[in-house]
Amino acid sequence: MGILEQIIDPDRPIIDAHHHLWMLPDTLFEALSRRKTELSRAFLPRLPCQTRYLFDEFAADTNSGHKIVASVHVDAHSMYRADGPREWQSIGEIEFAAGVAAIAESGTFAVPRICAAIVGNVDLRLGDAAAPILEAHIRAGGGRYRGVRGAELMAYDPDPTIIGQPNAVPGLLLDADFRRGFKYLESLGLSFDAWLLEPQLSELIDLARAFPNIQMILNHCGGPLGVGHYAAAPRQRFERWRAAMRLVAEQPNVAIKIGGLGLPLLGFETFAHEPPSTSIELANEWRPYIETCIELFGAGRAMFESNFPVDARTCSYRVLWNALKRVVSSASETEKSALFSGTAERLYRINDICR
C-alpha cells in the first residue's frame, strides 16, 4: 500500500461515470488467473483484481474521501440469470444493479447514489428481436436504465495477447444485423457505450454518422495502445491515436469517458507498479491523453470515470481521483464542474444529484 494521500479539492461533487459491481466464483477467478500467466503484460484487461466488488466494497471506496454523489454502473457480465434463453440472461445484471441502487437510496447507509444510472448488455445482432429485450431491461432498471454496451463483443485485436477477448467480433459496429438492432436505441431513448481499441475507431465514426440522433459515449479514452507490437514506436502510436480521436470528436453525437488509464493496454510503467504509484506519478503519465480528450471534445462532451475495480490494479480509488484533479487543476470552474459531474449528470440523465 502506498502513502495515504490527502484529498485534493475535497468538496467537489463527483459522479463516477463508469464502474462495475461483480462477484465471481473462486473457480472462475482461478481460471482467469491461470489465463493471465499465459499472456504477455497486455493480459486480458477485464481480469479482475478481486473476486468480490459489491455494495460494501464500492461504498468503502466512494466514502474514502472524495465527494462522490452518484455513479453509473456499466455491464460487467455479472449476475446474469442462470436459466432461460441466453439472449435474455443479461437482464439479471439489471435487476441486481437496480437492487443495489435501491439500497443506496434507502437512506439506511451513508452512501452516494450508487448505480443511479445503469448501462446494460443486449446483443444487438438479434436485430428486431433485440427490441423486446431492451424494453425488458428498461422495466427492470426501475427508471435508471440508460443504455447498452456489450463490451465483450466490441474490443478486438487479431493478436490475442493484446486484449484476450475470445468472443469479440471484428467489424461488429459495421454489421448489418447489429445495426438493425441498434436502431431501436433511438426510439427507446437509450444511449450507446462503446469500448473499442484505437485501430477500431473508424467503425464508431461510421456508426455515429449513420445514426446521428443516438447518443454515443466512447469509453476509456478511445482505447489507446502501447503494448505488444504497438509498443515499438510510442510517440507515433500516440499521434495516430490523437488523429483518430480528432475524427471521432467531429461527430457531435459522440462523448468521451476519460479514464481506463490504469489498464495494461497503454504499457504505462504505473500499471500494477509496486509500490503503487502516487497521484503525481499517475498524473504525469496520464496527462497527454487526458488533455487531448478535453481539447478535442470539450468539457461539455467529456466526463471522468474510475473504471473500478478494474483500475484498482494500478491505484486506489482515492489516488485515482487525486490524479485526475491534478491534471485539470488549472481548468476553469465551469470545465471542472462538467468533467467531474455535469456531463455525466446530463448524458445519463441523473437529475438534481449535485444540487
Mean pLDDT in residue range 299-323:
96
What per-residue confidence (pLDDT) applies to 345?
A: 98
pLDDT of 191 strictly over 90: yes
Query: Which parts of the chain are beta strand (E)?
Result: 13-19, 22-23, 52-53, 67-74, 113-120, 145-148, 191-194, 216-218, 254-258, 302-304
Look up residue 158 and give its three cell numbers. Answer: 487479431
Name the pLDDT band for 37 (thresholds 50, 70, 90). Answer: very low
pLDDT of 76 strictly over 70: yes
CB 258 within 8 A of CB 218: no
Rounded to an integer, what distance in angstroms lies between the CA atom of residue 165 and that of residue 180?
A: 24
Higher pLDDT among residues 330 and 272, named by residue: 330
Return the closest-CA partner of residue 126 out of 195, 176, 76, 187: 176
Name the pLDDT band for 40 (thresholds 50, 70, 90). Answer: very low
| Cβ count within 10 A of residue 228 | 19
Mean pLDDT in residue range 173-179:
97
What per-residue confidence (pLDDT) applies to 25?
A: 66
pLDDT of 30 strictly over 70: no
Return the closest-CA partner of residue 11 out of 292, 336, 249, 299: 336
3-state SS, residue 43:
coil
Report the percentage of the chain scoring pLDDT > 90: 83
Mean pLDDT in residue range 134-158:
95
CB 309 within 8 A of CB 53: yes
Fold of 13-347: TIM Barrel (3.20.20)
Mean pLDDT in residue range 207-216:
98
Rounded to an integer, what distance in angstroms lies between the CA atom of residue 347 and that of residue 215?
A: 8
Return the closest-CA partner of residue 39 out of 310, 275, 311, 264: 264
pLDDT of 42 strictly over 50: no
What per-residue confidence (pLDDT) applies to 51?
A: 76
CB neighbour class for 105 (10 Å; exposed up to 12, middle 13-18, buried from 19): middle
Amino acid, res. 296: L
Query: Which parts of 156-240 are beta strand (E)?
Result: 191-194, 216-218
Look up residue 257 and give its three cell numbers. Answer: 469517458
Name the pLDDT band for 28 (thresholds 50, 70, 90). Answer: very low
Alpha carbon 354 to its chain centroid, in Å, reads 21
pLDDT of 152 strictly over 60: yes
> What is the number of H-type helices and E-type strands within the chain?
14, 10
Name the pLDDT band for 35 (thresholds 50, 70, 90). Answer: very low
Question: What is the pLDDT of the chain when averaged over all its residues?
Answer: 92
Structure pTM? 0.93
Higher pLDDT among residues 160 and 252, named by residue: 252
Beta strands 22-23 and 52-53 are antiparallel
Look up residue 287 and give its three cell numbers. Answer: 496527462
What per-residue confidence (pLDDT) applies to 45?
A: 42
Return the closest-CA partner of residue 169 out of 158, 179, 182: 158
Domain boundaries, the chain: 13-347
pLDDT of 310 strictly over 50: yes
Name the pLDDT band for 242 (thresholds 50, 70, 90). Answer: very high
Mean pLDDT in residue range 2-26:
90
Name the pLDDT band for 161 (thresholds 50, 70, 90). Answer: confident
